[in-house]
Amino acid sequence: MKKVKSLFLGLLLVATLPAQNTTPLYLDNTKPIDQRIEDALSQMTLEEKVALCHAQSKFSTPGVPRLGIPEIWMSDGPHGVREEISWDSWNPSGWTNDYSTAFPALTCLAATFNPSLAHDYGIAIGEEARFRKKDILLGPGANIYRTPLNGRNFEYLGEDPFLASKMVVPYILGVQQNGVAACVKHFALNNQEENRDAVNVNISDRALQEIYLPAFKAAVEEGKVWSIMGSYNQLRGQHCCHNELLLNKILKDDWKFDGVVVSDWGGVHDTRQAALYGMDIEMGSYTNGLTSAAKFGYNDYYLASPFLQLLKKGEMPVAVVDDKVRRILRLIFRTTMSSNRPFGRYGCDEHSQTALRVAQEGIVLLKNEKQFLPIPVGKYKTIAVIGENATRSATFGGGSSMLKVKYEVSPLEGLTAKYGKDHIIHSLGYVSGPVSYDKVEPSKLNADSLILAAVETAKNADVVIFIGGLNKNYLQDCEGSDREAYELPFGQDKLISALLKVNKNIAVILVSGNAVSMPWVKDVPAIVENWYLGSEAGNAMAGVVCGDINPSGKLPFSFPVKLEDNAAMSFGKISYPGEGGNQFYKEDILVGYRWFDTKKIKPLFPFGYGLSYTTFEYGKIATDKKSYTADETIKISFPIKNTGKISGSEAVQVYATQSKASVIRPAKELKAFKKVFLKAGETQIVELEVKVQDLAFYNEITKGWTVESGEFILRNAASSADVKSSVSILVK
C-alpha cells in the first residue's frame, strides 16, 4: 500500500512539474532558419539525406517521415497549375477537383510590358498552386527567344534579356508570397526542342552573360527565387543538370543562390556529376529498361542508391550531400513547413479577372489600315468568323504546360457574345487534327471542301475575322518538337488568298507563341497577334476587336520577313539545330532586334512594336546631366501626349547605343521601359532611370562587366525600329 502511495505521489509530482520544452529546434518557427536547418541535418541518417535528393513519384519527394518533415509536391507551370498526374506514370490521375484557371502564355505576359501585371499573375497562380498543396510551381520559363522554330517559345518571355528580367522578377515574388517556391526554368540555353536532350551548345562567355543568363540572374538576385530547374541540353560538353560552370560557378558561387536546383524530368545522366556539379533534386529519370510500375525504381535514380553507395564507401564526401540537404530543408522551411503562409484560392473570379487583364494588355495590334479595327457592335450585319483557332482549345496540348481548365472562352464564343449570334456566321476553313504529344495525326476532313465552304461564308459577310495561327500540336507550339517551317501550317496561306478573292475586308488574328511568315501582309487591312490567352481568351479578343479594349501590347520578339533573316537561322545547321550533336551560337550577342538593327535587316514587325486605336506623340528625350561616373544613375525624362480621341496605354522604350567601343556592340539595347496610361488629349512626363552600370558589356578578358568611358546615345522609342529622339551623354 505504501509503495502504491509513493508511486502515486511521484506521478503527481511529475504531472505538476513545469512541462519540459521538448519541441526540437528545427520545428521551432521562431528560430533562425539556418539554425533549424543545422538541427534537422544533425538528426538525419545518411539514407534520409539521400532520400531527399530524388523523386519518390513523378512530382514529389519523400521528406523525412521519422522527423515529421513533409514531402515536397511540385506541379507545372507556368500558365496554370497542371492537373494531378499519376504516381509513376504520365497519365492523369483522374481527379475531378483539379480544373484550374488558365492564365495567358508567358509571351503574352511579356507583351504587356507591364511588370505589375506580372506580379498579379504570380500572385494568382501562386494562390492556385498553394490551394492545390503544391510546394514548388515549375515556372516561370525564362529562356531567350533565339529562333522562331523553337516549339516552346510560348512558355518564355521573348528575345530581350532586359524585358525578360523585368517580367520574371515580379512573377516570382508573386508566387512566393504564397509560400510556394517558383522554379525558374530551364537553366540554361534550352532554346530549342529539337534534340533537346543531347544538343551541345557552344557559346561565348559574352553571349551567355549578356543574352541568355540575365533573366535567370535577376530571378536569383532580385526575385530571390527558391528553386531553379536545370535544362536538358549540354553546355560545352556537360549536361546542364550537372554543369560545373552553370550550377556551381555561376549560380551558386557568383550569384549566391541559396535555393534548390531541380532537374528537368530525366535530365540527370550521371551520379558523380550530379553529386558534384550542382544538382540537388533529381526528378523524372527512367531506370534502365524497367518500365512496369512495380519495378519502376526511384531507388535506382542516379542520386539515390548509387549516390548512397558512394557516400557509404567514402568515395564521396558527406559534405556533398549535406549541402544539397541544407538547400532542400531551406526550401521546405520556406514552403510546406512555413507557419505563416496563406491558404490560397482556386478558380475564383479574381483569378479570371487577372487572366483577362493580362490577355487584354498583351494582345498586339500589328496592322490596322484605315482603322479597319475596331469593329463596333452594330456596324455590320454579318461577320464571318473563319479558322480552326476560333473554336480550338489553346490550353490543351503543348506538353507539360497543358492545362485541364475550369473553363476556356473560345474566340468564337467571345465574338458571339459580343456581336450576337444573328450577326456571326462561322466556317472552319482548315483543320489540324487532334492534339498528340509525339506524332502528327492529320484530320480526316477534306481540306479543299473546307476552303470552298469558307469562301462561301466569306462571300456572304460584310467582314471576315480570320482566326488562325499555330496550335499546341506536335511540330507546332509544343514541347519536345520544333516547328518544321516558318509558314503558317495546315494550308492557311492558301485559304487566306482564297478568302481575299471574295472579300478584302479581312482581319487576320493569329493565335500563336511564335512569329510566322505573312505572304498576305500587304493584302489584308488588319492583323492582330493574339497569343494563347487562357481561360478568358475569347472575351479578351472580342473586347479588342470591338473596341471595348484599346490594344497596348508590344511584341516581345521580332518577326523576320523570312526565316533566314533571323540571326540564329542565318548561319545554317551548325547554328540551328546543330550538326553531329554540336551547335554553335554564331550570331553571338546579336540576338533578335540586336541582329536586325546592327545588320540593317528590315524585320516584318520589330521587337517592341504594337499599334493602338489612339495615337501618341513623343517629345524630346532629356537627361538630368550631360556626364556621369560609372556608379551614377541617369535620370531620363520626356513628354508623351495622347493625340487621339480615346484613352490608351503606350509602352515607351529607351534604347542605348555606345558610340565607339573596343568590342562590337549592338546598334541598340533596351535599357528602360514603362507602360503609360493617357486619357485622350492628355500629356504626361515619363520619368525613367538607367544605371550607368547597365550600359556595361561582358568583358571576356577580365571576366567581368565593363563600362567604357565615352559617348552613349539614349533614344526614346515606340519600338526597336521607331526611334523618336535621342540624347548624347558622356560616361567619365
Q: What residues are labeled active site?
A: 264
**Shortest Cβ 265–ligand BGC spacing (Å):** 4
Instruction: Give the angle subtended at the CA of 67 by the CAs of 65 and 73, to the nearest 5°.
Output: 45
C-beta neighbour count of 2 within 10 angstroms = 6
Nearest-CA neighbor of 604 among 550, 567, 563? 563
CB 258 within 8 Å of CB 323: no
Site string for ligand BGC, 168-207 (x = CB under 6 A): -----------------x----------------------
Q: How many C-beta atoms lie closer than 10 Å to residue 702's C-beta?
A: 8
Q: How far is the CB of 371 from ligand BGC (least distance, A)?
A: 42
Q: How far is 497 from 535, CA to CA, in rounded Å?
A: 31
Query: Rounded distance, CA 233 to CA 188, Å?
Result: 8
Helices (H), 601-659: none
Of the two residues 269 and 554, which places its CB atom closer to ligand BGC in the complex?
269
Q: Is 184 helix (H, G, I), strand (E, B) or coil?
A: strand
- 264 near ligand BGC, rule: CB under 6 A: yes
Of 267 and 666, which CB lies nearer to ligand BGC in the complex structure? 267
Of the two residues 264 and 597, which places its CB atom closer to ligand BGC in the complex? Answer: 264
Between 190 and 558, name the residue whose CB sits nearer to ligand BGC.
Answer: 190
Closest CA to 374 of 463, 268, 300, 444: 463
Q: Tell me whether residue 185 or residue 324 sits nearer to ligand BGC (CB atom).
A: 185
If one asks whether residue 137 binds ligand BGC (CB under 6 A), the answer comes out as: no
- The CB-of-264 to ligand BGC minimum distance in angstroms stands at 5
**Of 264 and 587, which CB lies nearer to ligand BGC in the complex structure?**
264
Give the single-character DSSP code of 487.
Answer: S
- Nearer of residues 138 and 533 to ligand BGC, judged by Cβ: 138
Report in angstroms how near the CB of residue 482 gets to ligand BGC at its nearest. Answer: 14
Please provide residue 486's backbone torsions phi and psi, each rounded to the nearest 5 degrees. -85, -20
* Cβ closest to ligand BGC, residue 439 vs residue 573: 439
Q: Total binding residues for ligand BGC by CB under 6 A?
A: 7
Helix H or strand E encompassing 462: none
Beta carbon of residue 88, minimum distance to ligand BGC (angstroms, whole number): 13
Q: Cα dist. 685→376, 400, 412, 636, 674 in Å?
A: 32, 44, 40, 10, 12
> Closest separation between CB of residue 64 and ligand BGC, Å?
24
Q: For ligand BGC, give the closer residue by CB, 137 or 544.
A: 137
* Smallest distance from ligand BGC to CB 135, Å: 14
Q: Is 271 exposed, middle or buried (0-12, 13-18, 19+ CB in 10 A)?
A: buried
Spatial contact of 520 and 392, defined as CB atoms under 8 Å apart: no
Which residue in 138, 555, 656, 690 binds ligand BGC (CB under 6 A)? 138
Is position 618 an interface residue for ligand BGC (rule: CB under 6 A)?
Answer: no
Give the integer Cα–Cα distance in Å for 720 and 605. 10
**Long-range pairs for 338-343 at CB < 8 Å and ≥24 separation?**
338/29, 338/179, 339/29, 340/29, 340/179, 341/130, 341/178, 341/179, 341/180, 342/127, 342/130, 342/178, 342/179, 343/130, 343/131
Q: Which residue is nearest to ligand BGC (CB)?
A: 400
Could you tell me the smallest distance in angstroms from the CB atom of residue 224 to ligand BGC? 21
C-alpha 409/C-alpha 394 separation (Å) is 10
Smallest distance, ligand BGC to C-beta of residue 77, A? 6
Cell of 294: 512495380
| Residue type for position 523 | D
CB of 272 to ligand BGC, least distance (A): 24
Alpha-carbon gap, residue 12 to 17, rounded angstroms: 9
What Cα–Cα distance (Å) separates residue 494 from each residue in 454, 457, 534, 548, 582?
12, 16, 28, 32, 37
> Which residue number, 81 or 138, has a Cβ lying nearer to ligand BGC?
138
Helix/strand/coil for 2: helix
Considering beta carbons, is residue 164 or 384 the nearer one to ligand BGC?
164
Cβ nearer to ligand BGC, comparing 75 with 566 = 75
Residue from 238, 400, 410, 653 touching ligand BGC (CB under 6 A): that is: 400
Our CA angle for 317, 320, 321, nearest 5°, is 105
73, 265, 346, 697: residue in contact with ligand BGC (rule CB under 6 A): 265
DSSP letters, 199-263, are -EEE--HHHIIIIISHHHHHHHHTS--SEEEE-SSEETTEEGGG-IIIIIIIIIIIS---SEEEP
Residues, the chain: 732
For ligand BGC, the binding residue among 50, 53, 76, 81 (CB under 6 A) is: 76
Smallest distance from ligand BGC to CB 92, Å: 12
Q: Under the phi-then-psi rule, with left for phi > 0, alpha for psi from -120 to 50, and beta for the rest, what region is 156?
A: beta
Q: Which is nearer to ligand BGC, 143 or 719 (CB)?
A: 143
For cell 493584302, what's the residue?
Answer: 523
Q: Min. distance of Cβ 147 from ligand BGC in angstroms? A: 18
Cα separation, 571 vs 553, whole angstroms: 31
Q: Which grid coordinates belong to 335?
A: 514552403
- Order of strands, edge to edge, in the sheet holding 722-731? 627-628, 722-731, 710-719, 648-658, 669-678
Rounded least distance, CB 406 to ligand BGC, Å: 20
User: What's the gap between Cα 573 and its chain centre?
Assistant: 26
Amino acid at 480: G
3-state secondary structure of 5: helix
Site for ligand BGC, rule CB under 6 A? 76-77, 138, 185, 264-265, 400
